[in-house]
Chains A and B, each alone.
Chain A
Amino acid sequence: MMKRTPNRRREPLTDTMLLVTITIGIFFAMYFSAMAIWGGGFLRWQRVFDMLNDNAALIIVACGLTIVMIGGGIDISVGGVIALVVMSCVVHLNSGGSILTAALLALGIGLAFGLTQGFLISYLEIQPFIITLAGMFFARGMTTIVSVQPQKVAHEGFKALMKTKIEIPWLGYIAKKGNLIPARAEIGVVVALVIVLIVFVMLRKTKLGRGFYAIGGNANSALMLGVNVKRTRFISYVISGLLSGIAGFVFMMHTGAGNATNAAGAEMNAIASAIIGGTLLSGGVGNVIGTLFGVLTLSTINAIVTSSGLRDPWWQEITVGAMLCFFILLQSVVLSLRGKGGLKQMLPKWLTVRSKE
C-alpha cells in the first residue's frame, strides 16, 4: 500500500499556475522598481487605474483570446470587430438610437462574428488563422462602409455615461493644495474586471471551461475521454466574438469616437498579453488572471519606457517586442528545464515536478 500522510503535502504547481506565478512576479518586480526609480505617478493608485482605464477593452478581448488559445486556436479578428462595433454604435447613437439598442447592437455584431467564425472553424474544420484573418479584413472593410469619416458621439446620455467615474477615496492621494483627489475608474474597468472574474470561474469550475483545457491539451484524447470537441471549440469562438462586441462598447465609452483605424493591432496586443500572462499558443495552458497581469505588464513596460525619456512611440514597440521574446524564451526554458528536472536545484521543492514517488 502507498502510505499517505494525513496532512497532504503541497502539490507542485501545474504548468499553468507556474507560468502565471512568474508573470505576476515579474509585473510586481517591474512596478516596484518603477516606483523606486521614478516615484511620482507610479506611487499613486491612480496610475494603476489609468492603466486599467486605458486598457479595459484590451483586457476584455484578451480574456476571449485566452479562452480560444487555451483551446488551441487563435482569433485575430477581435481588433476589427471592435472597430466595427464602435463605428456602428456611434452612427446608431447619432442617428437617434438609444444606449440600450446600441449595447444590443454591439453584442449582436460580436455574436454574429463569433457564431460564423466558430461554425466555420469547428464544424467545417478550416484553419482558425485563415478564418479569423478573413474576419478581420471583413470587419475593417465593413467599418469603412458604415462610415468613411471619423464620427464623434453626439448622444447626450452616452456622453454622461462616458464621464461617469467611480471614485475610490481611500485609494486617492492628497494633492499639493491639501485636498483629497480620489482614484477614479471608468465603468469599462468594472465591466472588464467582472468579465475577468466570470471567465476565471468558468475556466476553473465548469465542465465547459475544463473542456477548453482538454481540447487544447490533446483534442484527440479529449474526444476519447468523452468531451464534445467540436461544440467546445465552437463555443470558445462564440465567447471570443461576444467579448469583442462588449470590448467594442467599452472602447467607445473610453474614446467616444468611431474611426476606421480604431483598435488597430488590438488583436496582437491581446495575443501578446495572453502570452505574457502564461497562455501557451500551443494550447492547453493558460489562466485569465495571468492575462490580466499580462495587459498590466505590457502597459507598465510602456509607462517605464516613456518615463525613461524615450518618448518616441517606436521605443515602446521595440521594448514590447523584446519583452515578448524574453517572456516566451523564459517560458519555454522554464517548462523544458522543468520537464528534465534540471530546475530542481534552483527552485524550491514545491515548484518542481517529481515524476516518481
Chain B
Amino acid sequence: MQNEIVLSMRGIGKTFPGVRALHNVDFTLRKGEVHALMGENGAGKSTLIKVLTGVYGKDAGTISIGGKEVVIRSPQDAQKAGISTVYQEITLCPNLTVAENMFIGREPGTLVAWSKRYKRAGEILSSLNIPARPRQQLGSCSLAVQQMVAIARAVDMDCKVLILDEPTSSLDDKEVEMLFTLMRDLRSRGVGIIFVTHFLEQVYAVSDRITVLRNGELVGEYEVENLPQVELVAKMMGKELQGLSDLKRDDSEERLTGTPVYAAEHLSSATGIAPFDFAIRKGEVNGFTGLLGSGRSESVRAIFGADRVGGGSVSMEGKRVHIGNPKQAMKHGIGYLPEDRKDDGIIADLSVRENIILALQVMKGFFRPLSLKEQEEFADEYIRALEIKTASSDTPIKSLSGGNQQKVILARWLLTHPKYLILDEPTRGIDVGTKTEIQRLVRKLAEEGMSVTFISSEIEEMLRTCSRLIVMRDRRIVGELRGTELSQDNVMRTIAGGDA
C-alpha cells in the first residue's frame, strides 16, 4: 500500500529578495508512510512546508495531490486540498474543551450542536486511543495530549497529508513514545505523514523514508534502512565523514606547562560543591565532564563568581586576585557563556548589535557609552567573523535561530578579548553544522592563545575539543584525563566510578 502517491511536489522553487530558498526541489509522499524531512537550519525545510501549506507562494514547480494538480494560495486552500499541519507550538485554545478545540471554526451554521460535538469527539478520540475526554478543558491536558488533540482535529478534517512540524521538541520521552504510537496508527490508516524534526534517533524510530535538503536543494530521498545515521548527518552537512574527525585536538604536553592563566585552590561556592583545585594555562582547552547534576556547571560558575563564593584563593597569571562577582571576573579577563542562553544569555528584545556590545559596555561602565559608530563597527566585524546569519545588526536577536543566537553571545565575549573563556554547553540545541563551527572556533581561539574551558553533554564533542578533561561526580572532582588517556571508554568509566 506504500506505493500509491498522495502528494507530489515537482521542481519547486522559491526566491526571497537576495536569497534562493528553494531550487528545483522534488518531494514525494506515499499513502501510509511517515516521511522525514531533514536538513540543517536554512536548508529549506520550513520554506518547503510553508509553500505546501500556502503560507508562501511558490515561484516555480507544481504540486499535485492524488494525481491531480492543485493550486494552493492560502492555508485554507491547503486544508481544502487535504493538507493539515500541526505545529510545534500548540495552536489550540487552552481555555476551551477538547471537543470544542476539535470542531471550532470548521462547522457550518450559526448554532453549536454540543451533543453532536461531544459524541463525535468521543468517537474520534477513542478510535485514535488518545487519552483525553471531550468535555475536559484542553489546558488540563499534558502538552503531548494537546498535540494529539490537534492531530485528531486534522484527521477528522479528512486529511490525506499530515505535516508534523517539530512536534516532539517540548515532549519528554514517554510522551514522544505516545505520539509515535499515534503516528504509526495513522500510517496504518493510510495517512501520509511528513515529519520534520531535529532529533536523529526519532527519525529512525518512526520514519519509512527520509528526504534530505541542503542549501535549498534536494540531496536525495532514501529508504531508512539504507541510510545509516552517520551518512544521514554527512548528507545533511554536505561534508564527508572525515570532515567531522579532522578536528584533531592538540595533545602536545608543552602547552600544559608554564604559569597558569588562571589558578584556584580550594575554591568553593554556596551551591555545595566540594572545594577544588583547578588551573588552566595559556592556549589550553580543557573541559569539565560528568553527568547532569555532577557539579560541572557549578564549578565554572564558581570560577566566574556567578554564585556566592564560599572560600579558596584565586590567582591570575601568578598574581593573587579576588573574584567575588561576575563583574570582577570580567575585569580580570574571564568570560562566561552560560548554559541556558534563553534565561541567562540573550536579551531577546534587544538587537544583535546591542547584544554583542553588552559585555564590553559593562566592563567600560555605563557612564562611558560606546558611540553608535563604534558599536556598529564591532557588531559588523563579529557578524562577519562568526558568520552570524542575520538580516542586519539591528535585527532583534529573538528572530535569529538558536545557533546564531549562540554565536551572538560568543561574539559578545570575544569582543571583550578575554584571556580565559568559559563555554557552558555552547552547542546545545543548535544544528550539527553550527556545532562543528563552534568547535573549530574554540580550537582556533586556543591556538591564538586564549584559554578555554568547554562543557558539553556529548562526550564525543568534548574529546574532539579538549586536551584535558576534569571528571566530576557527586559535586566533586574524581579524575583528570589527558593525552592518551582521553578515550570515550576511559571517560565513561571515570564518570561511572570504575577503575580507569
Contact = CB atoms under 8 A, between A and B. Distances in A.
Interface of A: 1-2, 4, 11-12, 14-16, 204-211, 213-214, 216-218, 220-222, 224-227, 284-285, 339, 353-357
Contact of A207 (B111, B129, B136): B111
Contact of B135 (A11, A284, A355): A11
A217 B95 contact: yes
Interface string B281-298: 000000000000000000
Given A216-B95, A227-B104, A206 B112 contact: yes
Contacts of B87: 224
B107 A4 contact: no
A209 B110 CA distance: 10
Interface of B: 75-76, 87, 90-97, 100-101, 104-107, 109-112, 114, 122, 125-126, 129, 131, 133, 135-137, 139-142
B421 to A, nearest CB: 39
B129 A2 contact: yes
A199 B75 CA distance: 32
Nearest to A225: B105
Given A221-B91, A226-B104, 20 more contacts: A1-B126, A11-B133, A11-B136, A12-B137, A205-B114, A207-B109, A209-B112, A210-B96, A210-B104, A214-B93, A220-B91, A221-B92, A222-B104, A225-B91, A226-B105, A284-B96, A285-B95, A353-B137, A354-B140, A355-B142
Contacts of A14: 95, 97, 137
11 contacts: A2-B126, A12-B140, A14-B137, A15-B137, A15-B139, A207-B112, A214-B96, A227-B104, A284-B94, A284-B96, A355-B140
Listed residue (B97, B105, B129) with the most chain A CB atoms within 10 angstroms of its CB: B105
A204 B6 CA distance: 40
A284 B93 contact: yes
A253 B139 CA distance: 44
Query: Which 4 pairs between the two chains have the least Cβ-Cβ distance?
Result: A226-B105, A217-B93, A284-B95, A217-B95
A353 B94 contact: no
B215 to A, nearest CB: 30
B105 A206 contact: no
A356 B104 contact: no
Nearest to B105: A226
B93 A221 contact: yes
A11 B140 CA distance: 12
Nearest to A18: B137
A224 to B, nearest CB: 4
B136 A12 contact: yes
Contact of A205 (B104, B111, B137): B111
Contact of B112 (A210, A216, A355): A210
